Amino acid sequence: MNTPHTKVRLDKWLWAARFFKTRALAKKAIEGGKVHYNGDRCKSSKMAEIGAMLTLPQGWDEKRIEIIALSDQRRGAPEAALLYKETAASIKKREEEAEKRKLMKNTTGAPDQRPNKKDRRMIHRFKRVDSEL
């Protein structure tokens, strides 16, 4: 982990911290308004600072993290985890949401059988009507 860095672009930091596989994906998420820096939308060229709070999507959940170290090099996952700290409220919220999803999954149940040809036609017809509205 490189700690002497004082300036690192946000997209590069997100890539180095292993939130995104490529810098291009990090840039796309930032420009798409998915990543918030200290509560506001930002540009991918924004310089990351120690102590800044980030809100970013991770699958079904949303993480709120604090930057505790800067690096512009992508290292292994254990080293990347040292670059940030997730807030306790964020962890609690993610666990609650995961529990809700787990309970909802148990209540819906899977269909008894796959749709046959007639069912598929009805599904396609239904979807086509909805898309035309």
Q: What is the pLDDT along the chain (133 residues), one digit of tens a residue?
A: 544 567 899 999 999 999 999 999 999 999 999 999 999 999 999 999 999 999 999 988 999 999 999 999 999 999 999 999 999 999 999 999 999 988 888 777 777 889 999 999 999 999 886 555 5
The answer to whether position 33 is within a domain reads yes
Looking at residue 112, its pLDDT comes to 82
Looking at residue 4, its pLDDT comes to 58
H or E segment and range at residue 62: strand 61-67
Amino acid found at 95: E
Counted domains in the chain: 1
- At 32, which CATH number? 3.10.290.10
Q: How far apart are CA 107 and CA 105, in angstroms?
A: 6
The answer to whether position 106 is within a domain reads no
**Domain housing 78:** 1-91
Tokens 């490529």 map to which residue? 22
The answer to whether position 83 is within a domain reads yes
The sign of the dihedral angle between the CA atoms of 113, 114, 117, 118 is positive
